[in-house]
């Protein structure tokens, strides 16, 4: 199929079709209108017709294809399922478009239809069809403009390119005798000069007798080459292909895998990549056709596809269902990560998406290139996945020559070529995309740079590290295995949080363990030593041999170093004196803690600690109603003792205690303001402000009394009486004479539903309302959904004769605050008389 390039007015550059093709947007509910993207509507505002994509709901189940016995059968199963799904889902849409006489292209690889020159009326008709998920504008991607380098030193050598040597590809050739034979590699790019001296020998369309067959080997949906033969009007695609497959047979071996055969799809023009062409080329890779677009043959699909193009990650995702279809068919896609560095969060798409394998670029000194995009990528994913040579990379360019280019576009083909070497030497991985990605990760040379996040072994600058093709093939030969276990305290059997586990062998891995004390490593099979160490414990080592596909468990119990006991009792300190169940935690101030629990009957505890250290000891009752206590303890060479009495908390909910009150309670049981109470509503001075009531004593909003009290209550109902206006309102009590009071307290039952823009508070005045001081406040969430009781000590009111309290609420469309049974007076928590 060939079609014209998308007109610039319709391109809506980087308004990604992405989720329109991936199924990333949730399916709409029955009766819901699908979304017509704003970019489409904007185009209709300026043009009578426009182009757009229509994405259909429903995805084919491709999982069964993995069970196919042959590569051809696997590919055919994927294509058949995609075809059946698209034919079923798109039938009403295709029928409508035919009746309307509108040109379109229906794609089965992504269950989407590209519609040309359609009217807004037709778009609205389409939106009402069953199964239509979204209508989106076309997008334009870019291939980075080739940046020529001025190499020096080792990078300038005209023999074996430095990148090929750097990743040890030549060592793979020598040791295995394999250079990518039996593997077909492809790129979706600007095209390829097929008869370039470094590429013509390995072009799959080369018949070996001076003639060429371009059927099944070349796809040009843009029709830019002017003939049926491959061309490259840019140089980008010829350069990337040379890095993967270049070899002129005269000693000018520029490719990582010079034994592969290659094919190509043209998705890009001089500097842009039409989304329509990219989708068409991606679909063709699953089932290549002859030059007329007929007679598809899945057996001729490539093993690996390099993609050195993209857009900023901030745009919508791109074609993820296509990449999933490639993987289901056994095709591995490799992606450049972008050239927008050195800032963090510059990873591009599609490479920055979780499901794709993206490549960063480094130079001849193994230093990350300044332009190489950094992660993290989608949802915090570490990107790039790996890094490869991408500075002063010498490869083929149109006209039969060679040039040095920079870019992650140049790095990605190194990885694609390395995968070809692996699959050629270890064919069992040619059907295992996940296993291949794991081998790439494990065999990469760890390169520490955590400036954009991650760890020394896996960070958002280098990813898993620098590509090593020889280590990759060796890892494939040895196979992979997993090693897991738990590090525990040999004395207690409890997990040791903060323990460090280091495994050394074919790989070295180190991690600090969390609260569960568990570790879990994916490793290359072989012999390993495992070392576990933690502060306060004796270092312990173990040996383990991992076989290919092994899954071994090695738990380690760490013997504690010398400990001395801190002992004592935790008891009620407010009158009952009984033992309490509590948690006792000692902290040495250096990140190390030790904990023990007291006996719930006697309160006795024993906490083993390290000698000759100072600790902050925190005691928290596990029985409700007690305030925690903090003590400082210095341990010598022998044991120590610490007895603690915990006091009941202000709420007085501890077992065996009761509240004794002596004062005044306002039940707010009437429908009017209680005698002596005042409501003050502050006018916010907003023009045309319709004044609204603040505190009221009727339930106009029908909230019900959820404070825990009974009958009526006072309430500010911002969502009801506020009617969208700001409310700034005070409810002020009459004067209380607290002369002779020694435990003055405010207590109230309430139900508070706040919002981020609401403020709730209690103010106290001891001079009859002349001056006020806030004694409690709650701003925004989480609030206190009733029934809830709040107790506020009023120490400043003890012995005062003219005391007032006021409740303050300020908010706009911000919930409500209901208050009941407000008490002011002496309040004590004492052992219950019974």
| Catalytic site positions | 189, 236, 409
Instruction: Specify the pairing of strand 727-732 against strand 759-765.
Output: unpaired
Radius of gyration of the chain (CA): 36
Q: Which two tokens stand for residue 420?
A: 């070809």
Determine the angle formed by the axes of helices 469-478 and 169-176, rounding to 10 degrees.
40
In this structure, are residues 113 and 93 in contact, taking their beta carbons and an 8 Å threshold? yes
In this structure, are residues 247 and 202 in contact, taking their beta carbons and an 8 Å threshold? yes
Q: How far apart are CA 825 and CA 214, in angstroms?
A: 96
In this structure, are residues 433 and 327 in contact, taking their beta carbons and an 8 Å threshold? yes
Containing 78, the helix (H) or strand (E) segment is helix 71-100
Torsion of CA 346, 351, 354, 358, to 10 degrees: -100
Task: Look at the block and give the residue holding tokens 């990885």.
Answer: 415
Residues in the chain: 834
Tell me the residue ranges of DSSP E strands in 443-517.
480-489, 500-504, 508-512
Q: Which two tokens stand for residue 216?
A: 């099944």
Nearest CA to 53 out of 19, 28, 8, 78 is that of 19
Q: How far apart are CA 116 and CA 373, in angstroms?
A: 35
Residue 591: φ, ψ to 5°: 90, 10
- Distance separating the N- and C-terminal Cα atoms of the chain: 92
Q: How far apart are CA 264 and CA 218, in angstroms?
A: 5
In this structure, are residues 586 and 578 in contact, taking their beta carbons and an 8 Å threshold? no
Instruction: Specify the pairing of strand 614-621 against strand 49-56.
Output: unpaired
The half-sphere exposure of 616 on its side-chain side, counting CA atoms within 13 A, is: 9
Task: Look at the block and give the residue holding tokens 């948690």.
Answer: 583
In this structure, are residues 131 and 85 in contact, taking their beta carbons and an 8 Å threshold? no
Torsion of CA 48, 49, 53, 57, to 10 degrees: 70
Neighbouring residues of 789: CB distance < 8 A, sequence distance ≥ 6:
651, 708, 747, 748, 749, 750
């Amino acid at each position: 199929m060939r079609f014209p390039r998308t007109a610039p007015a319709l391109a809506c550059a980087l308004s990604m079709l992405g989720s329109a093709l991936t199924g990333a947007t949730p399916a709409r509910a029955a009766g819901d209108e699908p979304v017509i993207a704003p970019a489409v509507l904007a185009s209709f505002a300026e043009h009578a017709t426009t182009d757009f994509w229509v994405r259909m709901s429903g995805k084919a189940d491709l999982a069964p294809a993995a069970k196919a016995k042959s590569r051809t059968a696997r590919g055919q199963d994927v294509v058949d399922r995609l075809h059946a799904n698209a034919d079923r889902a798109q039938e009403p849409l295709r029928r409508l478009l035919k009746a309307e006489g509108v040109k379109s292209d229906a794609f089965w690889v992504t269950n989407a239809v590209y519609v040309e020159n359609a009217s807004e009326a037709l778009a609205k008709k389409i939106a009402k069809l069953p199964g239509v998920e979204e209508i989106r504008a076309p997008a334009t991607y870019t291939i980075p403009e080739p940046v020529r380098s001025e190499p020096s030193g080792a990078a300038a050598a005209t023999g074996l390119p430095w990148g090929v040597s750097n990743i040890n590809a030549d060592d793979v050739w020598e040791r295995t005798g394999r250079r990518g034979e039996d593997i077909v590699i492809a790129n979706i790019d600007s095209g390829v000069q097929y008869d370039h001296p470094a590429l013509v020998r390995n072009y799959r369309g080369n018949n070996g007798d001076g003639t060429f067959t371009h059927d099944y080997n070349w796809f040009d949906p843009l029709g830019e080459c002017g003939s049926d033969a491959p061309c490259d009007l840019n140089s980008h695609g010829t350069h990337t292909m040379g890095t993967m497959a270049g070899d002129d047979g005269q000693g000018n071996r520029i490719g990582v895998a010079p034994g592969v055969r290659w094919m190509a799809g043209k998705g890009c023009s001089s500097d842009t990549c039409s989304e329509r062409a990219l989708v068409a080329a991606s679909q063709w890779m699953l089932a290549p056709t002859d030059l007329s677009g007929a007679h598809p043959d899945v057996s001729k699909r490539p093993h690996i596809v390099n993609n050195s193009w993209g857009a900023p990650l901030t745009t919508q995702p791109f074609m993820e269902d296509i990449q999933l279809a490639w993987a289901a068919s056994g095709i591995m896609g490799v992606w450049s990560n972008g050239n927008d560095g050195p800032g963090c969060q510059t990873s591009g798409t599609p490479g920055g998406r979780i499901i794709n394998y993206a490549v960063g670029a480094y130079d001849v000194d193994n230093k990350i290139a300044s332009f190489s995009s950094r992660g993290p990528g989608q949802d915090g994913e570490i990107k790039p996945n790996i890094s490869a040579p991408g500075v002063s990379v010498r490869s083929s360019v149109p006209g039969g020559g060679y040039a040095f280019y920079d870019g992650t576009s140049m790095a990605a083909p190194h990885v694609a070529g390395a995968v070809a070497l692996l699959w050629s030497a270890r064919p069992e991985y040619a059907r295992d995309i996940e296993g291949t990605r794991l081998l790439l990760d494990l065999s990469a040379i760890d390169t520490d740079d955590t400036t954009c996040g991650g760890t020394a072994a896996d960070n958002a600058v280098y990813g898993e590290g620098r590509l090593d093709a020889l280590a990759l093939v060796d890892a494939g030969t040895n196979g992979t295995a997993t090693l897991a276990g738990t590090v525990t305290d040999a004395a207690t059997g409890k997990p040791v949080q903060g323990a460090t586990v280091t495994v050394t062998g074919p790989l070295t891995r180190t991690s600090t363990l969390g609260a569960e004390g568990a570790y879990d490593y994916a490793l290359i099979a072989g012999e390993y030593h495992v070392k576990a160490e933690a502060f306060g414990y004796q270092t312990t080592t173990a040996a383990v041999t991992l076989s290919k596909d092994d899954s071994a468990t090695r738990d380690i119990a760490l013997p504690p170093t010398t400990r001395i006991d801190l002992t004592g009792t935790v008891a009620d300190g407010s009158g009952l004196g009984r033992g309490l169940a509590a948690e006792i935690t000692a902290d040495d101030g250096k990140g190390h803690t030790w904990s023990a629990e007291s006996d719930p009957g006697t309160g006795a505890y024993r906490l083993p600690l390290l000698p000759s250290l100072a600790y902050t000891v925190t005691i928290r009752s596990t029985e409700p109603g007690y305030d925690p206590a903090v003590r400082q303890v210095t341990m010598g060479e022998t044991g120590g003792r610490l007895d603690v009495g915990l006091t009941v908390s202000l709420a007085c909910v501890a077992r065996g205690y009761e509240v004794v009150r002596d004062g005044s309670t306002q039940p707010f049981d009437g429908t009017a303001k209680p005698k002596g109470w005042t409501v003050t509503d502050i006018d916010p001075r907003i023009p045309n402000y319709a004044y609204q009531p603040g505190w009221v004593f009727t339930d106009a909003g029908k909230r019900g009394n959820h404070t825990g009290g009974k009958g009526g209550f006072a309430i500010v109902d911002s969502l009801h009486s506020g009617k969208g206006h700001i409310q700034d309102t005070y409810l002020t009590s009459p004067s209380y004479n607290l002369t002779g009071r020694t435990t003055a307290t405010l207590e109230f039952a309430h139900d508070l539903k706040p919002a981020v823009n609401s403020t709730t508070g209690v103010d106290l005045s001891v001079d009859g309302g002349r001056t006020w001081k806030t004694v409690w406040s709650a701003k925004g969430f989480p609030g206190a959904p009733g029934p809830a009781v709040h107790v506020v000590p009023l120490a400043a009111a003890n012995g005062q004769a003219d005391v007032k309290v006021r409740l303050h609420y300020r908010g706009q469309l911000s919930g409500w605050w209901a208050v009941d049974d407000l008490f002011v007076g002496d309040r004590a928590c004492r052992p219950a008389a019974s």
